[in-house]
Amino acid sequence: MTVHSIRFQIILWHVIVLSLTFIVFGAVLYHTVSRRLNSDLDALLLSKAAGIRDAIDSAWDGEKKDAAEAGIETNNKTKSQNVRFAKTVKQWTSDASHESLLSSIDVGIFDSGGRLIASSARTPGAVLIPATLNRLDFNPQGEFANSSASLSPRTKIPLRALTVPVEENDRLAYLIQVISPLTSLRSFLRHLKVMLLFLFPFVIMSSGLAGAFLAKVVLTPVDKMIETIHRISAENLRLRVKVPDSDDELESLAETFNGMLDRLEQSFSSQRQFIEDLTHELKTPLSVLKGELEVTLKKLRSAQDYEAILHSSLDEVNRIIQISENLLLLASFDSDTMSIERSPLDLAELLPEILAEIKILAQQKDIDLRLASRETAVVQGDRAKLRQLFLNVLDNAVKYTPPEGTVTVDVSRAPGYAKVTVADTGKGIPEAVLPRIFDRFFRVERNNSQVGFGLGLPIAMAIAKAHQGRIEVRSTLDEGSTFTVWLPLSGGQAALSSPGS
Amino acid sequence: MRVLIIEDEDKIASFIKRGLKEEGYSVDIARDGEEGYFLATTQEYDLIILDLMLPKMDGLSLCRKLRQEKKTAPILILTVRDSTKDKVTGLDSGADDYLTKPFAFEELIARCRALLRKRDGQATTKLQVADLEIDLVGHKVSRAGQEVILTPKEFALLEYLMRNEGIVVTRTMISEHVWDIHFDTFTNIIDVYISYLRNKIDAGHRKPLIHTLRGKGYLLKDSKD
């Protein structure tokens, strides 16, 4: 697995995305919980402070009442700087230290001068002396502060303190300070943080594993495909990739790949067939030449023998020349180096000329060669090439039609195309070999001295294609074959021709 | 020696036939696989030269079929297919040799000789009975050190007799191996050739080598008395 492999990238991205998600989630969670806990604590401190103020007020009211009943003159009725008030507060503090109001918190009461009147502090040094009591802008709702108290020189307890001023007649009467240790809150947050950090590598690991699994699920068919493709070579083109029935991109990839293999295999096999045929076609006349000459040279022969052998050799040399020329012609069509000199050409005039040429061949076999109908059909074409096209098609028809048969030629216009049909009454072409008749060197029957090299129809097809046309063939066994040549009509004619014509 | 050529290309078949005939072989030609099969199974051949691309039945199938039917005549495949794979398939189908076209005619002849030699379990290209010696490559015959000039037909007949030294060969056997399929068995042409051979080989020597067995055939052996 390399850094660039899809498998690695899937895993990597999976880990990155999941880790980032987890980090954001963890941070938001931690922050929210922390804020919520702190604000809950502050709300608790505020409500405790209010409760303590009410409790002190009612205790002071009770004290004043008791004093009035006892007849004690309380000339000083204000709470501020009042010794009796301080005493009352001290008394209340010690009485209430076990009540629920003061559970889990400490309280300190200061007079308006900032002196500590009373304290329930179980934690030494917990109570803070408000440093800026004389400030005019002391928040009437109370002020929060964080501090810490030392239990010992080594241990410090974090504290949260709320100092609330209590007023009387618009003047500061005393201060209530409510203190809560932050130990449990902090330790809860610390636990949360540790848990999140501890989970992080686990998240990375599990997301990596999940990514690997995902990559495996996604890539297994791809791996299988690669394995099959590895085994495919020019000699082994019959192998196909297994198409998964998954209706997804992989299925379409496999189908596309197999389609490409089909075309490759076909082209390889037709190439192989072509080379085999070419070998046969060229080596046979060469073998005849070499063999005949060698046998002749074995001893002295008569002049007639030499003449016969020279004639025979000349025939073979001509055969080789013809095959080479035809092949070179086909090769020039294949490589698009064939120059087509186009000029307007009426097929209705060209065909009678060609028929006249073929007539000699047809007469030898008593074949009735006729031009049944002709309609003006002008194409942009190379006269010499088109002559060859029709000569080849007609020659083929005459060759495969038994004596006293008929070859009928018909020139007409179809929408956009000139259409020339050549129908014979030959023995027809078996359906199995019909797709092959335009293959080079293909002959329906080889063992017939009449047949040529099997290059006539391929050349005709190549010429038709070079003119943006085509040749179609229909055949019925024992009844005959019909070749239809389609060539595009030249501009003006194409517009003139109606679908019915 | 009688050879069957199975080849659809007329000119190739005919020049091989001509060349082999000039070497003293008798030759038949079959132009397609089915004709070849018919001749190979109904006639006795000493050697079959087989093309692979044949109409009606291809050469490889023909070769396998002949071997299945226990026809043991040596088969030489003569084809344009020159890939190693084709050669291996051809030889594995039961052929004894494989020669690709175009070929040197001398090589074809040499391979034919080698195949016949192998068939007879013979290591050299010379045959000898008593003081009669024949050289199968140079077509030279000598009796007691003196060269004897023979026509190709006479040579073929003598070669056949010498290959079957000490065995009685009938007229039918001779006609099947020395003459081709067009031989008319009702003529006394074999007797005529035997008398030609006697005149050239045995005349003037004390010990005759060619013996006639009335009603049976002929026998070539070193008569030690």
Give residue B90's Cα distance to chain centre.
22
C-alpha separations of B24 from A113, A238, B137, B152 in Å: 151, 51, 11, 5
Helix (H, G, I), strand (E, B) or coil at B38: helix
Query: Token pair of A451, please?
Result: 């047949």
- B137 and B106 housed in the same domain: no
- A15 and A118 housed in the same domain: yes
Asked whether residue B184 carries a pLDDT value surpassing 50, the answer given is: yes
- What does pTM read for this prediction? 0.58
The pLDDT assigned to A496 comes to 54
- B92 and B176 housed in the same domain: no
Out of A280, A283, A295, whose CB is closest to B18? A295
Bigger pLDDT: A233 or A263? A263
- B20 and B41 housed in the same domain: yes
Residues 6+ away with beta carbon under 8 Å from A415 = A497, A498, A499
Which of B88, B119, B150 is the C-terminal boundary of a domain? B119
Residues A16-33 pLDDT 10s: 999 999 999 999 999 999
Cα separation, B124 vs B135, whole angstroms: 9
Tell me the CATH number at A52.
3.30.450
- A313 and A349 housed in the same domain: no
- B112 and B9 housed in the same domain: yes
Q: Please report whether residue A222 resides in a domain.
A: no
Calculate mean pLDDT across residues B53-71.
91
- B134 and B92 housed in the same domain: no
Mean pLDDT is lowest, of A407-416, B118-127, B154-163, for B118-127
Calculate mean pLDDT across residues B134-142.
87
Q: Please report whether residue A117 resides in a domain.
A: yes
Which of B93, B119, B145 is the C-terminal boundary of a domain? B119
Calculate mean pLDDT across residues A78-93.
76
Which of B74, B91, B119 is the C-terminal boundary of a domain? B119
Position A498 confidence tier, pLDDT thresholds 50, 70, 90: very low
- B112 and B10 housed in the same domain: yes
Give residue A346's Cα distance to chain centre.
54
Tell me the CATH number at B63.
3.40.50.2300
Contact (CB<8Å) B19/A289: no
Which of A334, A365, A394 is the C-terminal boundary of a domain? A334
What residues of A are in contact with residue B15 (Cβ under 8 Å)? 288, 291-292, 295
Q: Please report whether residue B80 resides in a domain.
A: yes
Amino acid identity of A380? Q
The pLDDT assigned to A17 comes to 92
Q: Please report whether residue A194 resides in a domain.
A: no
Cβ-based neighbour number of residue B82 at 10 Å:
13
- B114 and B7 housed in the same domain: yes
Q: Please report whether residue B225 resides in a domain.
A: no
The pLDDT assigned to A243 comes to 80
- B10 and B95 housed in the same domain: yes
Give residue A260's Cα distance to chain centre.
19
Q: Report how many domains make up chain B.
A: 2
Asked whether residue A501 carries a pLDDT value surpassing 50, the answer given is: no
Query: Token pair of A15, please?
Result: 């880990």
- B134 and B113 housed in the same domain: no
Q: Please report whether residue A440 resides in a domain.
A: yes
Distance in Å, alpha carbon of A299 to nearest chain B alpha carbon? 10
Contact (CB<8Å) A294/B22: no
Calculate mean pLDDT across residues B95-115.
92
Cα separation, A208 vs A202, whole angstroms: 10
Out of A279, A292, A299, whose CB is closest to B80? A279
- B85 and B130 housed in the same domain: no
Contact (CB<8Å) A298/B105: yes
| Bridging pattern class, strands B75-79 and B97-100 | parallel
- B130 and B206 housed in the same domain: yes
Asked whether residue A451 carries a pLDDT value surpassing 80, the answer given is: no
Q: Please report whether residue A113 resides in a domain.
A: yes
Calculate mean pLDDT across residues A322-347.
83
CB B103 within 8 A of CB B114: no
Bigger pLDDT: B12 or A494? B12
- A64 and A170 housed in the same domain: yes
Cα separation, B24 vs B178, whole angstroms: 8
Calculate mean pLDDT across residues A170-177.
80
What residues of A are in contact with residue B86 (Cβ under 8 Å)? none
Out of A287, A299, A312, whose CB is closest to B102? A287
Cα separation, B58 vs B63, whole angstroms: 9
Where is mean pLDDT largest: A20-34, A147-161, A216-230?
A20-34
Out of B15, B53, B82, whose CB is closest to A292? B15
Residue A159, burial from CB neighbour count under 10 angstroms (0-12, 13-18, 19+) = buried
Mean pLDDT taken over chain B: 88
Q: Please report whether residue A218 resides in a domain.
A: no
CB A126 within 8 A of CB A179: yes
Asked whether residue A500 carries a pLDDT value surpassing 50, the answer given is: no
Q: Report how many domains make up chain A.
A: 3
Q: Sheet holding B47-50: strands in order across?
A: B26-30, B2-6, B47-50, B75-79, B97-100
The parent domain of residue A459 ranges over: 343-496
Sign of CA dihedral A378, A380, A382, A388: negative
Task: Find the chain B residues whose C-beta atoms sit closer than 8 A to any C-beta of A.
Answer: 8-12, 15-16, 18-19, 22, 31-32, 53, 55, 80-82, 101-106
- B8 and B94 housed in the same domain: yes
Q: Please report whether residue A311 resides in a domain.
A: yes
The parent domain of residue B131 ranges over: 126-220
> Nearest residue of B to residue A316 by CA position?
B11
- A284 and A349 housed in the same domain: no
Asked whether residue A407 carries a pLDDT value surpassing 60, the answer given is: yes
Q: Which of A31, A46, A51 is CA-nearest to residue A144?
A: A46
Distance in Å, alpha carbon of B116 to nearest chain A alpha carbon? 21
Calculate mean pLDDT across residues B35-48.
92
Residues A425-441 pLDDT 10s: 988 888 888 888 888 88
Residue A246, burial from CB neighbour count under 10 angstroms (0-12, 13-18, 19+) = exposed
Tell me the CATH number at A357.
3.30.565.10
- A354 and A477 housed in the same domain: yes
Query: Does the model's ipTM exceed the 0.90 cut?
Result: no
> Nearest residue of A to residue B103 by CA position?
A287
Asked whether residue A54 carries a pLDDT value surpassing 70, the answer given is: yes
Asked whether residue A382 carries a pLDDT value surpassing 50, the answer given is: yes
Give residue B47's Cα distance to chain centre.
6
Calculate mean pLDDT across residues A463-479.
89
- A176 and A256 housed in the same domain: no
Task: Report phi then psi at A222, rounded to 5.
Answer: -65, -45
The pLDDT assigned to A99 comes to 72
- A433 and A286 housed in the same domain: no
Asked whether residue A135 carries a pLDDT value surpassing 60, the answer given is: no
Which of A334, A352, A380 is the C-terminal boundary of a domain? A334
Task: Report phi then psi at A418, rounded to 5.
Answer: -90, 140
Q: Which of A383, A298, A347 is CA-nearest to residue A489?
A: A347
- A316 and A366 housed in the same domain: no
Calculate mean pLDDT across residues B64-76.
92
Query: Token pair of B47, please?
Result: 């050697």
Mean pLDDT is lowest, of A90-94, A390-394, B31-35, for A90-94
Asked whether residue A421 carries a pLDDT value surpassing 90, the answer given is: yes
Mean pLDDT is lowest, of A338-347, B59-68, B70-79, for A338-347
Cα separation, B46 vs B116, whole angstroms: 7
Helix (H, G, I), strand (E, B) or coil at A175: strand
Helix (H, G, I), strand (E, B) or coil at A416: coil
Which of A154, A188, A222 is the C-terminal boundary of a domain? A188
Q: Please report whether residue A119 resides in a domain.
A: yes
The pLDDT assigned to A168 comes to 77
